[in-house]
Amino acid sequence: MLVLGLIALHMAGFAQVKSDLFVANSLNKCCRLRLAANTKLTPNIFLSPLWLSTNWRKSNMHVVQRDTPPTPDEIIELARDYLGTPYAWGGVDENGLDCSGLVNKVYAENGYDLPRTACEQFLIGEPTPVTELVAGDLVFFNPSPNAKSITHVGIYVGNGEMIHASSGKGEVTYDRLDLMYYRKRFAGARRILSLSPGIYSSPEGNAADADEQNASSLDALVSSALADDDALAANLSQDDSASQSRPRQLAQFQPPANAMHTGPVTLRKANTSFGLRLGTARLDDSAGILAVVESSYFGHDDALAIQLAAPFEAPFAGERRAHTDAGNTWDEPIDYSKIIQEIRYGQPGSDLYFELGRTTSGTLGNGASMHNFTPNLKSRMLPDYTLLPDALSLAFDADFSNFGVQSFVDDLMKARVLGASVFFRPFIIADSSSFLRTARLSAAYVVDIKAPYHSAQTFNPTTVSENNVLHALSVEAEISPINADRFWLSTYLSVASLSFLQKTGYGSSVGLLIRSALEEHGFHAVRLRGELSLSGASYIPSYFDAAYELDRKSIPRYEKDSYAISKLYLLDHFQANSPRQGIYLDAGYQVQRRFGLGVAYQDYGSFTVNDSHYASRNLFVYLDLRNLYLPASSKTLSLYFAYYRRGFVSLTPFLSKGSNSEYLFAAFSLQFSRYFSLGGAARRNLNGVSDTDFFDAVLDVTARYEL
């Protein structure tokens, strides 16, 4: 009944599109009156040096001179060039674009000086019925159904699709006009290409009076670099809803150029939909058929995303898979948590972010205690098909300008590792220099309430002690002496401790972070980090790292005949006559949000326990390709690859059973039609204790109906 109701609502909303088409003609009468009173411009002003020095446009957003209108294909081809560009509140260039900024940029490079905001752009061009839309037309939307204002604009590309800068998705992307969200908010369309290239805005970014629009055309002066003007700087940060400020959960773009997660990820579309996924899989040493009933919700206004999935498995061939019966029961609350794949509010890097998911990683501050901690790294199950109660991790970040909090829980249903961090900026409210305003002090606390303690002689399910409590506490001071648009440099100092079994160990680290856009337009970005550490005998830097769930019961060792020990046992038994030195390095490269490549290496020295040798040397490499649009279409390809090698002395052998401890995850997704997608994933985990090679793989097809 719910499905039938949603379909009926979908059809009813589509029937209203035509009747709502010209509603927006009367929405902006006040805007028209204001224009008539304030934009009486003369042709001479357009060509005067005064206009060139006070126009709202930046020098990198100048209007290209053109005598004839472009073709629709030229508009669409240029709009496609900006796919994946991050959404930035008030953004007007390649570093970040908002919805009207994208329209402005595309049309400016084709000879049109359009107004700044969507409301003003709605006053330009020829009103066009929805049944007569052609590529290049502008489509406009209200902030809510039946609202009386224009707050969003996109570029129609044909086949019922538009390219627009989506604040909720955080990037320039494709969306369909018949999605329920946009159907209910559709306000009208305008055809700009029916006008000759020229100036259609005032120096302040408003719509020029209709009688004046064709009085001037662009010349070489207009095509030249336009000077910035502090008096009009507010126009550049003006959002399309005018009086509203940027929501805290929507990010103001800063190129991170690093991986958000260090374990497996899921490749899914951000839309409201329901569907069925069918796949064939190899899990452990068995094979069979899997089915997942899926449902998802995505909020375009607030970036609230909910992914639910009910997985089922057919009888498997081959060896019976371990814990299959337990995985299929629904007797306890933890079993019902299997239907939650992800609940997310906001965007990574925003002032407010919440994530409850199965592929979440946690970092507190600069990571002195918890760095890329990934509970599901050890899981032998693929996250798309959660048949066992894998960890449902919780991450929360909030930044309130002068202070903020971070928290992470490894499993909401049966938490064992919990962490929290509080930071504040002591000089942000003072009348101080920008250098001091970047200073940040923070304190982080992490606890493992059931840290296992064992060596090989005691390791079995009945004798392992898991009632030990381990505490990690760190204090950090950070400052950014350089904090420019294209180059950001930060340095930090951390002091931390580990307390366990009536012992306490101490350590310290100093690090440098560099983030930079490699070119003026910001398409390419890099992130570099280097850290040196000094540790006492009973301290390991970033103790809760990506491999902690693997190491807590069995850390890798050099010799094959060495016995396995837990990480807590190692910490309790190794001895050192002098402080140990360590190093952490990572480098990331990113092209917008489409392509990411990164590598991280850490070496905190070696440890000797009872004449057996253990290394704290890890390597992580990732490749992330998201929403690679196929030529001249909205079809997308996404790829993800992650490789983790822990506790190694030598990187050879590579991907063989002779390797000590390796982890490999790969996934792909191809959206080859509106309703169907093809996907696959593979996971390899070589256990450092028994050298057992676990390999899971799945290939699936998803049928999805978008609301």
Among 539, 595, 464, CA closest to 84: 595
Among 16, 58, 32, CA closest to 225: 58
Cβ-contact 559, 612 below 8 angstroms: yes
In our burial notation (b when 16+ CB lie closer than 10 A, e otherwise), range 129-145 reads ebeebebbbbbbbbbee
Distance, in Å, from the CA atom of 164 to the CA atom of 702, rounded to the nearest integer, reads 26
Distance, in Å, from the CA atom of 503 to the CA atom of 448, rounded to the nearest integer, reads 15
Q: Is 337 helix (H, G, I), strand (E, B) or coil?
A: helix
Amino acid found at 450: K
C-alpha distance from residue 362 to each of 109, 350, 354, 662 (Å):
42, 16, 12, 21
Instruction: For residue 152, indicate whether it is catalytic.
Output: yes
**Hunting for tokens 């005067």 — which residue is that?**
48
First to last CA, the chain: 16
CB burial of residue 298 (10 Å; 0-12, 13-18, 19+): buried
Cα dihedral across residues 251, 542, 374, 662: positive or negative = positive
Q: Is 489 helix (H, G, I), strand (E, B) or coil?
A: strand
Structure letter (DSSP) for residue 370: B
Considering the candidates 62, 164, 261, 300, report the single residue annotated as catalytic. 164
Q: Where do runs of H (alpha helix) occur along 598-676?
A: none
Instruction: Give the Cα-Cα-Cα angle 168, 171, 173 (nearest 5 degrees).
Output: 100
DSSP track, 568-598: HHHHHH---SSPEEEEEEEEEEEETTTEEEE
Cβ-contact 408, 372 below 8 angstroms: no
Considering the candidates 31, 62, 119, 152, report the single residue annotated as catalytic. 152
Distance, in Å, from the CA atom of 111 to the CA atom of 661, rounded to the nearest integer, reads 58
Distance, in Å, from the CA atom of 692 to the CA atom of 480, rounded to the nearest integer, reads 46
Among 410, 418, 415, CA closest to 375: 410
Instruction: For residue 99, indicate whether it is catalytic.
Output: yes
| The token pair that represents 565 in the structure block | 């020990």
Considering the candidates 31, 62, 99, 454, report the single residue annotated as catalytic. 99
Among 583, 479, 596, CA closest to 526: 596
Cβ-contact 505, 497 below 8 angstroms: yes
In DSSP terms, 516 is beta-bridged to 487, 526
Instruction: For residue 164, indicate whether it is catalytic.
Output: yes
Among 112, 100, 124, 101, CA closest to 74: 112
Distance, in Å, from the CA atom of 151 to the CA atom of 279, rounded to the nearest integer, reads 42
In DSSP terms, 482 is beta-bridged to 489
DSSP track, 412-444: SSS--EEEEEEEE-TTTTSS--HHHHT-EEEEE
Q: Which residues are catalytic?
A: 99, 152, 164
